[in-house]
């Protein structure tokens, strides 16, 4: 990640706390740089998809970047994060290089999963980013298991479990909240409420609000403006420390909005939401624009610096696609690798006649 | 005959059955206002209203089970899974409830429910979204499994599935929705379950298959023809019930069989068919039966690996030649 400059052109010091926001200028500028990168990265992915370099389903986080930046910023490197398929930016935020994420989207050897996972399955064990899950709600039990491990081993860590709003209607979500509450697991269940699960508005198929879902389990719930990265960051800074020090699980709703279609195969608007609605959100709740206003008003950022930061973001995104382009496609042998542990094998594991 | 897409044929079947029987309703994710993720239910909401065309939350276990309960109580539900990959969440309701209720209750209950949706490997969708799911649904007795390959079969078999008094997993080919074909215009076009269809007549070798793979078999047969080999393509159309007579007939005719499926080999449909052939037509075989299947690995995302994982025309050709000792 490119470092933001230590002193801004307007003269304010980056270690100064922005009084109105309770965040240092340094952090705020880093969040800006990160969100710019996520935006430019996703735009590159969009371009690459359009020309067929990325295939299958590809879900972009454009419009929701503050969730990745503001939440993951508060974590320590050993903390865990896990997510669904809309997770390129979260993977980068957690420390996987943009190059390795982009190469995964391209299905190349340099991809973080060797090209075998694709856009929906970005995994980075070393970065403690545990995927990249394609089945709605599939990651929620896994997060609960990670929380179990943390507690089992007496570690001072937390696990962030990202999911979409529509995911809270899966039974497994409720089963897990109960278990996490019973065993006081250090898991923060983060629901990115972008108002829709594909083309279905949350309210049409949901009786109660997201924050009401943890009430039966006595898990504290909160709701944050997920387009305001400073609020998101502050909220999670406090919350994470509560959970880390044994406070048990939390449920957080991040109120957000997706600026693109559900996936690259879906229209941006249509019967389920109007073009005007999308345009209004882009106008009023773009997380980058909101932070820009805040930082301009505080005098810690000016247009020139912002443009430089954007150049940095674009450069990193372009380097990611260059890397992906140059990374070779997997060798045919890779097809049969990593199906099994391959140690201590007696008897036949493969049955297709190609491998025995 | 009318020419229509596979998608339109399914839509017509749903429309006709809902028209015919007020107990038939359709429930699933995005089926109503969005016309279905693959647009199969297009326009049905307008015709039948939101009591009969119902958008469900993402709660597969819940709404599949809701359908089972409604079927026990007398309705005839059609439950759409956005794709069969997501039906795994509902397997308990399908296998432990839908498939066993008739038996466990000593015949007091019938469960006339159709679970339908796209199935089978698609294009670069990776390990969790690209797989053929038949085997999971037919392993335990009690659930029928239907896999139409053409628009006509899609229409006739869906109508039969909805009318069937047992649970049916109706598995549409995810890559077939835009496929065009002729569909009979007769008033009530129904194809009974359990009747295979010869999609191509030949005398040298039989390719037995079902679902999306029928088209691969036909492509392979065209190539074989140019090499002077006449392949017969038997489309099972449903893998449970299984048209054993049609299988034995083609074996007796060509004496050489290649089984083609886009699922994994272990305990796949091919394993069952091969077992029947060796039990009941051993003396008619001039060569061991070969299987062409998806590679025995989860589906990889990378394009080149995906191509290696899926059954290919070349593999079918090679296997056909092998059983012909050419
Ligand atoms: C179990 C399951 N059912 C259905 C799908 C198809 N599907 C993929 S994403 C999605 C919508 C999920 O919405 P939400 O949880 O709000 O996340 P968002 O996409 O808005 O980030 C659906 C229905 C799936 N992948 N898994
Ligand atoms: Mg959503």
Question: Do the Cβ atoms of B34 and A272 come within 8 Å?
Answer: yes
Q: Does some domain include residue B170?
A: yes
- Band (pLDDT 50/70/90 cuts) for residue B316 is very high
Place of tokens 């939350």: B57
Within a domain: B264? yes
For residue A116, list chain B residues with Cβ-Cβ distance below 8 A. 127, 300-302, 305
> Among the atoms of ligand 1, which is closest to the Cα of residue A258?
20
Average pLDDT over residues A247-252: 98
Averaged pLDDT score across all residues of chain B: 98
Q: How far is Cα A236 from Cα A350, in angstroms, rounded to an integer? A: 46
- Whether residues B135 and B201 fall in one domain: no
> Which atom of ligand 1 is nearest to B30's Cα?
23
Mean pLDDT of A309-320: 98
Domain of B205?
197-323
Q: How many domains does chain B have?
A: 2
Q: Is the pLDDT of residue B319 over 80?
A: yes
* Omega cis (within 30) before B241: yes
Atom 18, ligand 1: residue with shortest CA distance: A164
B243 and B117 inside one domain: no
B25 lies in the same domain as B100: yes
What is the count of residue pairs from A and B with beta carbons less than 8 Å apart? 139
Average pLDDT (A114-126) is: 98
Among B158, B183, B208, the domain-final residue is: B183
- The catalytically annotated residue of B16, B17, B60, B261 is B60
Please confirm, yes or no, whether B60 is among the known catalytic residues: yes
Looking at residue A355, its pLDDT comes to 61
In this structure, the answer to whether residues B38 and B88 fall within a common structural domain is yes
For residue A53, the chain B residues in CB contact (below 8 A) are none
User: Which atom from ligand 1 is nearest to the alpha carbon of A198?
Assistant: 11
Within 8 A of A170 by CB-CB distance, chain B residues are: 58-60, 89
Question: Going by C-beta distance under 8 Å and a sequence separation of 6 or more, which residues neighbour residue B228?
Answer: none
Query: pLDDT tens for residues A179-221?
Result: 999 999 999 999 999 999 999 999 999 999 999 999 999 999 9
- Considering the domain boundaries, does residue B120 fall inside one? yes
Inter-chain touch A199–B33, beta carbons under 8 Å: yes
Kindly state whether residue B191 falls inside one of the protein's structural domains: no
- Cα B115 to Cα A181, B83, B104, B264, distances in angstroms: 35, 10, 21, 22
User: What pLDDT, on the 0 to 100 scale, is given for residue A320?
Assistant: 98
Closest CA to ligand 1's atom 25: A135
CATH number at residue B27: 3.40.50.970
User: What per-residue confidence (pLDDT) applies to A10?
Assistant: 54
DSSP for B206-249 reads EEEE-TTHHHHHHHHHHHHHHTT--EEEEE-SEEES--HHHHHH
Q: Are residues B164 and B23 in the same domain?
A: yes
DSSP A217: G
Instruction: Give the domain A17-23+63-95+128-302 fold.
Output: Rossmann fold (3.40.50)
A313/B134 Cα distance (integer angstroms): 46
- B62 and B179 share a domain? yes
Whether the pLDDT of residue A354 is over 80: the answer is no
Rounded to two decimals, the ipTM of the complex is 0.95
């Amino acid at each position: 990640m490119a470092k933001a400059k230590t002193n801004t052109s307007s003269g304010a010091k980056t270690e100064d706390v922005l009084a109105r926001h309770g965040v240092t200028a340094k952090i705020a500028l880093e969040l800006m740089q990160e969100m710019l990168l996520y935006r430019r990265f996703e735009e590159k992915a969009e371009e690459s998809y359009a020309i067929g370099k990325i295939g299958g389903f590809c879900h972009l986080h454009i419009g929701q970047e503050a969730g990745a930046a503001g939440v993951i910023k508060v974590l320590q490197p050993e903390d865990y994060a896990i997510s669904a398929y809309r997770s390129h930016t979260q993977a980068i935020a957690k420390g996987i290089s943009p190059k390795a994420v982009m190469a995964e989207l391209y299905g190349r050897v340099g991809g973080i999963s060797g090209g075998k996972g694709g856009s929906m399955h970005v995994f980075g064990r070393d970065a403690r980013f545990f995927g990249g899950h394609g089945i709605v709600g599939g990651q929620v039990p896994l997060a609960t298991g990670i929380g179990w491990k943390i507690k089992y081993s007496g570690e001072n860590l937390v696990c962030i479990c990202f999911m979409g709003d529509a995911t809270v209607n899966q039974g497994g979500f409720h089963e897990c909240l109960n278990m996490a509450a019973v065993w006081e697991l250090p898991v923060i269940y983060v629901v990115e409420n972008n108002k829709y699960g594909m083309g279905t508005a949350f309210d049409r198929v949901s009786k109660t609000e997201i924050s009401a879902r943890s009430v039966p389990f006595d898990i504290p719930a909160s709701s944050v403006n997920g387009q305001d990265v400073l609020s998101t960051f502050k909220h999670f800074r406090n919350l994470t420390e509560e959970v880390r020090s044994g406070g048990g699980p939390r449920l957080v709703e991040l109120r957000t909005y997706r600026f693109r279609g559900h996936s690259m195969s879906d229209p941006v608007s249509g019967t389920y939401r109007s073009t005007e609605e999308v345009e209004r959100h882009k106008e009023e709740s773009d997380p980058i624009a909101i932070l820009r206003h805040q930082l301009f008003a505080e005098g810690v950022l000016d247009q020139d610096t912002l443009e430089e930061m954007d150049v940095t973001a674009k450069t990193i995104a372009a380097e990611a696609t260059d890397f992906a382009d140059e990374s070779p496609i997997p060798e045919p042998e890779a097809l049969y690798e990593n199906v099994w542990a391959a140690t201590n094998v007696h008897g036949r594991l493969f049955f297709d006649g190609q491998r025995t | 005959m009318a020419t229509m897409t596979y998608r339109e044929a399914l839509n017509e079947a749903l429309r006709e059955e809902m028209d015919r029987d007020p107990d038939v309703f359709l429930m699933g994710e995005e089926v109503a206002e969005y016309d279905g993720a693959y647009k199969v239910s297009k326009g049905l909401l307008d015709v039948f209203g939101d009591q009969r065309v119902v958008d469900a939350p993402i709660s597969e276990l819940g709404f599949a089970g809701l359908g089972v309960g409604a079927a026990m109580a007398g309705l005839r539900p059609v439950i759409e899974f956005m794709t069969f990959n997501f039906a795994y969440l509902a397997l308990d309701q399908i296998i432990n409830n839908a498939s066993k209720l008739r038996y466990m209750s000593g015949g007091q209950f019938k469960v006339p429910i159709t679970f339908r949706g796209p199935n089978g490997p698609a294009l670069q969708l990776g390990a969790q979204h690209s797989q053929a799911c038949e085997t999971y649904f037919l392993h335990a007795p009690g659930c029928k499994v239907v896999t139409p390959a053409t628009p006509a079969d899609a229409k006739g078999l869906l109508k039969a599935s909805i009318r069937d008094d047992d649970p049916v997993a109706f598995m549409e080919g995810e890559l077939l929705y835009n496929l065009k074909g002729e569909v009979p215009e007769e008033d009530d076009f129904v194809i009974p379950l359990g009747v295979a269809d010869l999609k191509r007549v030949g005398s040298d070798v039989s390719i037995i298959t079902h679902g999306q793979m029928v088209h691969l078999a036909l492509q392979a047969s065209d190539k074989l023809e140019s090499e002077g080999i006449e392949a017969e393509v038997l489309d099972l159309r449903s893998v449970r019930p299984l048209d054993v007579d049609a299988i034995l007939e083609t074996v007796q005719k060509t004496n050489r069989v290649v089984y083609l499926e886009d699922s994994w080999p272990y305990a796949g449909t091919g394993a069952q068919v091969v077992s029947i052939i060796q039990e009941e037509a051993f003396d008619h075989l001039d060569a061991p039966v070969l299987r062409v299947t998806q590679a025995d690995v989860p589906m990889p995302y990378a394009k080149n690996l995906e191509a290696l994982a899926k059954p290919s025309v070349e593999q079918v050709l090679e296997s056909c030649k092998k059983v012909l000792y050419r």
